[in-house]
Structure formats: C-alpha cells, structure tokens
Structure 1
C-alpha cells in the first residue's frame, strides 16, 4: 500500500509526465519588476518560528509502529528561502535589449585580439578575460594565441618573473607541456628579495598563482609557494587593503582554488577599481554575469518546484531542506548556459543524496538501514513493501528520477546500470559508517579514507555528470568510469577532506562517527591542530595529483573541468565551517551574489 497518497504511476503515465518535467524552461524576454532582496535577518526569524520537529516517528513519517524505537535526533534549520520566494525571483536582464547589447560588446572585445602587439600583451589580455569569467566566449582565439606562443617560445620572457609565471600558468592551465625549469634562473632573484632589494610584488603574486598548478615532485614550485605566501602576507601587513594590489593579494590568499563564477564576481569588483581598466571589457563582463544569472534563476525555480512535488521535506522533517545550496553546487561545477540540463539533473542528484544521507545519519535504525541498502542493491520496486513507510518515499523518488534520466539519455547506450551501481555503492558506504557508529568503532585513518571518498558521493555525482553534460560520448570512457578513474578518486578525496575540515566540529557535537581528523588524532596521538594541518597538507598533495591527471586525462575537457570544480565547490561551502548545513551568513551572501543579486551597471 502506498503511503501519504504516494501512488505508483503506470509506466505509460510516467513516460508522458517525465519529458515535460525535464524539458528546458520557456523564457520570456519581457521587462519585469525586480523584487527587493530578501534580508538575511530573516535567517534568525525563520529559525525561531520554524516548527521544531524532533526525529521521532510521527505522522510526518508514517505509521510504522516505531514510536518507541530510539532514534538519533537532529533539528536542522529550515531553508531561509521558501519555494514562494524562489518563484518570485526576477531580473530586468531577461529583456532582449540586454541580449542584443551583449552580442555587440562581445564582438567589440573580439576585435581587441587583433590589437595585441606582443606576447606579453596577449598573455595579460587572456589572463584578464579568464579572471573576469568571459574567456569561454573566445576559446578559438585563445587557443590560436597560445599555440603560437608555445611554438615560438623564446628566452626573452625569462627576464621578467611576472611574465614567466603568467606564461607558465596559462600554458599549463590550457594543457600545454611546459617544464618548471623556466623558473631556475629566478632563485637568485628570490634570494635578493630576502635581502631587502626592491620588491617585485607583481612577480611574487604571479609566481604564487603559478605554484598551484604544480605536479608532484616539482619542488621548485613548492618552494615558490612557501616563499611567495610569506612575502604577500608581509606586504598586506605593511600596506593594508588601501590599494588595488592589496585587494588582488587578499583575493588570492583567501582561497586560490576559487569557483569560476564566484572568482569572476570578486575580480569584477577589483578590476573596476583599476586605473588602466578597459571599460568595454568591464561592461561586457558585468552584462555577461547578469544575463547568466537570469538563466540560473529560471533553473532554480524549476528545481524548487520539483523538490516541492516530491514532498520529501514536508513528510520527512528530519531531512535537510537545501535545494538552493544543491543548485548552487551545480553552478559552481559548470556555469555555462549550455549546461542547463546538467544543472537540473545534478541538483536532483544532490537533493536525493542529502535525503539518503540524513536517513542513514539521523533517522534510520541499523536494521532499517540494512533493509534499505539491500533494496537499493536489488533495484526493484517489488521490494518496496519490505521498507518502513518513510523509506518508501525516498525509494520511489530515487527510482523515478533514474528512470527520467534514462528516458532522456542521448548517449545511445543504456546508463541505468552505471547509475544504479553508484547509488548502491553510496548506500553501502553509508551503511559501513552506520555500523561503525552503532558499534562505537573508530576506524584507522586509512580505513576511514578508503570508505569516506565514496561516502562523500563524489564518484556518484561525477558519473551522473558524465552522462548528462554536452560532450562527445565515448564507449571507451565507460571502463574508466567503472573503475573510478583517478580523476574521480582525487576529486572525491579532496571533497571529503574539505568536508571533514568544515563539518567535523558540528558533527562531533551532534553525534557522528569520527572523521579523518579524529581518526588521525587517535592513531598518531597528534593534537587537533596537528591533525588539521595534516589534512590540509593532504589536500595540497592530492591536488597536485589531480593537476597531473587533468593534464593527461583522456576524458573530455568538459568532464575534467567539472571534476576539478567539484573539489572547488567543497572548499567554497566548507572553507569557514559547515556552510551547507548551518547556512551561515557568509555563504548566504555568496549565494545571493551568484544567483540573484546582479552587478550594478553604469548608466
């Protein structure tokens, strides 16, 4: 029997409904009123007035005769953004007049490529385009320039640290083979700087940024990062934040591995303050950012309506309601307009992951979790009657979602077996952690990591992404996907370690298994500070492996970029704590600036 009126649809009806559900939203380019921004002060109001629901069996989760079953309790703050508020989002930049203006500006910027007189100007122009977040409009032009620079490399660049570091970073970033030997001649210059010679701030900043594109065993870049970090911090202590250079340094030191759209938003503010800025380029970057926001708002409306239709949060009140955060995660992974379907699908993936995670971490008994894991492994709706009613809701939603993705699958190859395998693997990793928790077992550090890089859901997210992004499907990629290729593993491990650094304190307080920090402390006798430093050093090391894997991978560039950006998003949300669960004001401001607060335009 179905619970809460949740009935099994016939397959014909489901086919009829699924296609419009995932169809792209219809855009109307009419000028609309822009609502006032919702104040962050509502965070506290919503928290105080939200219905306080403890994790006991109630009418919200069905009559499973489980009122007397002891369950873990966790009261999560409801989302500060309701579906009604999300549906009210609007932007004047949906008007066709802005789209026309963007096309004109894009061509004006394209003409600037022909005015670059030398390699230095070309490199710096590409750098600015990249930082402003508009380089994706000029893929061919950039490739032609870098091809020429790579084919005609000369030693004249080696006389300038800034230019050499920029040359190295851009070529390596775009996949060209370039050695760190070009920096050997600058070791003496660094020594002279230590002796209070004139400061090459621009060179030090460029060298610092280049150092994050290192591979393993490139010690010269390790040395460069250590020294330039110290140098730039000393510069800030001396000069404060009263100039554009200081703002650039603060921007770089806060977090180098920035999410592209967030980095663009920050740099636009910095670039606007520069005396030598190009006003056409600045206007183009602002308008491009604002128009993309209108696309994001429509996609968020769609996914919020989907989330509301599932009724998961209304009926399973122990689950985190984080549809906005789940959508923003996908924007961070790929912001381009043509990735609309990817963002819609992956927002659903993220929401279902959170739901299942909370079932395992917060509400389910060990016996129930074993039943749920077995049901996922069997992947058959006939087994649903073995599950408690609250689990049936999630089980049906997951099955219907995977069926939708298969229906709209454009690869020409059945993908359900690959998706099912990932959901099964995720649930098995969750069950392992649940068994550790219920038995009071603390795993070794290596034992924890080997399970945790799967339980962070990175492999599941990336394999779903592979099948829905607009790229050329290659059957030979399937072997790498099945074996969890290194690019997937490294991205997931960084995400796990970043998550542990941000969430460990909260999860220990609320009751959870020991994370990497606690496992390392118990195994080595290290202090918490030492354990955290060890985890941070692991992130740097694994990122070098990820750099190398990205450089040599046979996957499409789109998939590589998404894999790297998954790790960037983990740092985005967990840099200063558990920004995903707690919804702190810093994360809320970042989300608003990314999704619905446009950049003011002059005039």
Structure 2
C-alpha cells in the first residue's frame, strides 16, 4: 500500500485548553456595576451636551470625543456625538472664514473626526493656509507637538489624489521622529511612538482601548469620571466576552476538529477575529462568527497543508455546496502550487480577494448584524462590493507581509511579494516597499468607499465590521503571524479576555 506523503506546517499547539476557558469568571456583572455605569454615563452625557454649546471654541469637545472613542466608550453616546459633529460642521467647517481662524491643531483634529464619521471635508480648503504643495507645514517650528501629531493622524484619512495630505504624512512622520529626543513628557512620547507604529485610523479598536486606558490614566488632565467609566465598561464588556468564549469553546471541543494534527487549533484567535468585527457587548453573533472563523481556518489548512491535489479536487466538488467561491479560490492556489506556477501580481490579487476568506465571514456578519432578514438580504450586500474588496486586499497584503516567508518554507503558493518579484525583477526589499505602497493606496480607496457607505442604507455596525477586518489584518500580521504563533498573541488574549483592569472598587 502506497503511503501518501503529506506536508507539515508544524503548527504549535494551542495555549488555551477548554478547561482553562471554562474557568474564566468576572465580578463585573450584576446590578451594582450596571447602576454605577448608568450614573457615570449620565455625567458624561451632560458633559458632552455642555461642550456642544461652546461652538466658538470646539477644541475641548473634540478632544473629549477623541478620548471617548479611544477609551472604547463612545458607543454609549452616539446620538450626542453625532449632534456635536453636525453642529461643528454646520457652524465652522462650511464657512471658509471660520476655518481660516482655526489653528492647525483644531483643524487637524476636526478634519480627522469629521472624515471618520462620513463627512466629505475637502483637504485643500481646510489646510491650504497651513500646508504648502510639498507637504511642508508652514511655520512648523512654531507649532506644538500635538498639532503635528494630530495632523499626522489626520493624513491617514486621505482619499486618492490628495497630494497635500500624502506629502503632509511624509513631512509630519519625519518631524515626529526627529522630535522624539527633545520631548520630556512621557505621555506625549508614548502617543508619538504608538502613532508611528500604529496610525490610529488603522488601529484595532479594542486593542487601542486597552492601551489607551493606561495612557489616559497617567495624563495630568485626566477626568476621573471618564477614566472610571472606561475601566468599568472595559471590565463589564470583558465579562460578556468570557461567556461568549466559553460557549464557543464548548462547541469547538464537541466538534473534535481540534484533534486534527495538520490544522491550527486556534479557537481563541478565531474568537479575536469575531471581537474585531463587532466589539459591542450587545452583538449576539460573536459565537456564530467564531464557528465560521474556526471552520475556515481548518479548511485553509486542508488545502494549504494536508490534501494532495487529487484529494482536493474531489473535496472541492463535495464542499462546493457550502463554500463554493472560497473553495474554488483555494483549489486555484493548490493547482498553482502543484504545477509550480507563479502568477502575476494581478492574477494573485484577483484570486486573493476571495482566498483570504473574508467574504464568507463578511456575509455572515452582515446577516448577524441585521434585526430583520428578508429574501433579498444577501443581494443588498452587493452595494458594498468595493468596500468589501478593498478590505479583502488590505487583509491579504498585510497577511503576506507577515507570513509569506513562513508559508514558503512549509511549502505554499507564492504570495504577493514573490509574485511582484517574479514579475518585475525587484529585490525582496523593493517588493515589500511596493506592497506597502499598495496597502496605502488601497486604504485610500477604502476610505472613500467607507465615506460613501456611511451615507447609505447599509447598517453602521456592518460598515465598521468591514473596516475593522482591514485593521485586524494589520494587527494580526504586523511583525509576524499572531494567528499561527500562539505565543505572539498570548499577551493580547490575556489583556482582552482574561485579566480585568485594576483600580476599581
């Protein structure tokens, strides 16, 4: 009997047993903490309303909104925040005389927040008095560091062909790097280092929240009420996550798929993907999304590692009834690998928008976001085709930047970096720089599609879900493969799902 030789990825085992997951518990549940949360929310709601009345000096309220977003509690105040931004847009940014009076810090912060919330704010009219055509900030030596940092963060909301913002990004990044040695304030230093590593617009919300709570706690101007609500809310939401994770873990154990020696046993990492799509505590689809993610991870390993081409052809015919487009994209890559074919970059990306496995995940997320599912529900998602495609490409390209060498070593189809090298004759370093640029250009397209989608009938939670998948790709694959290497992801699993934030009664 002929023994089939199979590839092995030698994936390390999971760090999280079902027994450990079932042991997770939190004291931050029940009426006591809910009552305190409601009290704090009322205080902050009044604070926002009072700030909304100070139209002549909106910097304070914009800083508060920015803090609430980064602290992960802005979802409690969506109506109030929308009212503030609409008020500022109508009274300040629609009138050139008004915005010409603003300093660079206020312009940058206002521009970022308004674009983030779907407002079509022009780059030229806002910044023409501050930034020349080469991106140089006029009078930059006289600007305080926070103005330059806020401008830097604002440039990541650029659209295609916005050269002022593109050049300003290069200028402010260089300026911030050169300023580091001159800054004594440790709080500001941490913000700069963090922004240079992870621009805020590309940052995964829940990971940002865990990090920013610690930073905010050390700020001299910290508001104790804001901080208490941020810590309390984080711990209360963590308690919800723990119950969802327990349920998902019981399901995973019962499937016995965790016993497949060739596949990644990554239940907690797949749960993180579900949290990244929708981190709100009221979302009821996290367990189902984790199931989808776990099945896709196993399917990916069947195609990438375990199956022979003949087996995969037969397997594809069987499972096509459930995962047709995804499995067809997987078999294309399997054929490339077995024939030792290196596709062009465009060939690779055309197939990768499906093989990255985001589209079936997004379709499930769309259905789970809706309160009422009608017959043509999935047809309605076609309105977001470009939004979804750009997210898929960002996720694929960031994945390749972090995992392509490991995948080639274990035996896999060439990724985008290798495809570009083969097609253009570029070195690996040159190819990586090209892919970085392609990621940036795709983010600009995503920014535009997201801006248009916010004004459409698509649910806001769904738009955020799609955008967050692009952010999740950058988080999971920056500096390596956190999905495949459990030790890399362990600190985040502990901080988000296991360890509460201390300092609360």
Give TM-score scaled by structure 1 length: 0.78
Residues 472 and 535 (structure 1), Cα distance of their counterparts in 2 relative to 1, 3 Å cut: farther
Contact 1:94–1:294 (Cα < 8 Å) also in 2 = yes
Change (3 A) 1:162 1:218: same
Partner of 1:115: 50
1:128 aligns with 2:28: no
Matches of 1:531 and 1:500, distance apart in 2: 11
Q: Given that residues 471 and 556 in structure 1 are in contact (C-alpha distance below 8 angstroms), is that contact kept between their aligned partners in structure 2?
A: no
Residue 209 (structure 2) pairs with residue 264 (structure 1): yes
* 2:221 paired residue number: 276
Which residue is equivalent to 1:337? 281
Please tell me whether the aligned partners of residues 453 and 496 of structure 1 are also in contact (alpha carbons under 8 angstroms): yes
Aligned to 1:525: 425
Matched, 1:213 2:157: yes
Whole-Å Cα distance in 2 between the matches of residues 351 and 541 of structure 1? 31
1:154-303 aligned within 5 A:
154=95, 155-158=97-100, 159-180=102-123, 181-187=125-131, 190-193=136-139, 197-239=141-183, 243-256=186-199, 257-303=202-248
Is contact 1:286–1:599 with CA below 8 Å preserved after alignment? Answer: yes
> What is the distance in 2 between the residues matched to 1:591 and 1:90?
15
Aligned residue for 1:564? 467
Displacement of 1:123 in angstroms is: 1.4
Q: What secondary structure sits across from 2:486 in the alignment?
A: coil
Q: Aligned partners of 1:432 and 1:138: how far apart in 2?
A: 47
What aligned pairs does 1:138-153 form with structure 2 within 5 A after superposition? Answer: 138-153=77-92
Distance in 1, Cα, partners of 2:383 & 2:354:
13
2-structure distance, mates of 1:125, 1:582:
37
- Cross-structure match for 1:102: 37
Cα distance in 2 for partners of 1:600, 1:460 equals: 38
Provide the secondary structure at the position in 1 that maps to 2:28.
Answer: helix
Shift of 1:239: 3.1
Q: Distance in 2 between matches of 1:529 and 1:133?
A: 37
Alpha-carbon distance between aligned partners in 2 of 1:526 and 1:289, rounded to the nearest angstrom: 46
Q: Aligned-pair distance for 1:114?
A: 3.3
1:358 aligns with 2:297: no
The equivalent of 1:552 in structure 2 is 452
Deviation at 1:214, TM superposition (A): 1.0
- Cα distance per residue 1:541-567 (max 9 Å; x no partner): 001101100111232211110000001
Q: Find the counterpart in structure 1 of residue 501 from structure 2.
A: 599
Please state if 1:77 is matched with 2:12.
yes
Alignment of structure 1 residues 37-48 onto 2, 5 Å: none
Q: CA deviation at 1:94?
A: 2.3
Query: Within 2, Cα distance between the matches of 1:283 and 1:556?
Result: 30
Give the distance between the partners of 1:198 and 1:178, measured in 2 at CA: 26
Q: How far apart, CA to CA, are the structure 1 residues paired with 2:383 and 2:89?
A: 35
Q: Could you tell me how far 1:238 is from its partner in structure 2?
A: 3.5
- How far the C-alpha of 1:90 sits from its partner, in A, is 1.0
Distance 2:17 2:34 in 1: 30
Deviation, structure 1 residue 191: 4.8
Please give the residue correspondences for 1:316-465 in structure 2 after superposition, counting only pairs within 5 Å: 316-339=260-283, 341-377=284-320, 379=321, 420=322, 423-465=323-365
Contact 1:495–1:566 (Cα < 8 Å) also in 2: yes
Q: Please tell me whether residue 92 in structure 1 is matched to residue 50 in structure 2.
A: no
Runs (5+) with no aligned partner, structure 2: none
Q: Deviations over 1:229-263 (max 9, x none)?
A: 111111124437x5211111112111111111111
Report how many residues are paired. Answer: 489
Distance 1:222 1:94 in 2: 46
Secondary structure of 2:109's partner? helix
Q: Contact conserved, 2:130 with 2:138, CA < 8 A, in 1?
A: no
Return closer, same or farther for 1:475/1:207 CA change in 2, 3 Å cut-off.
farther
- In the aligned structure 2, how far is the partner of 1:485 from the partner of 1:492? 10
Of structures 1 and 2, the one with the larger relative CO (CA 8 A, separation 6+) is 2
Structure whose CA Rg is larger: 1
Checking the alignment, whether the CA contact within 8 Å between 2:231 and 2:504 is kept in structure 1 is: no
Conserved in 1, the CA contact under 8 Å of 2:363 and 2:378?
Answer: no
Distance 1:293 1:468 in 2: 21
Quickly say closer, same or farther: Cα 1:269–1:595, change in 2 above 3 A.
same
CA distance in 2, matches of 1:190, 1:534: 24
Q: Does 1:488 align with 2:374?
A: no
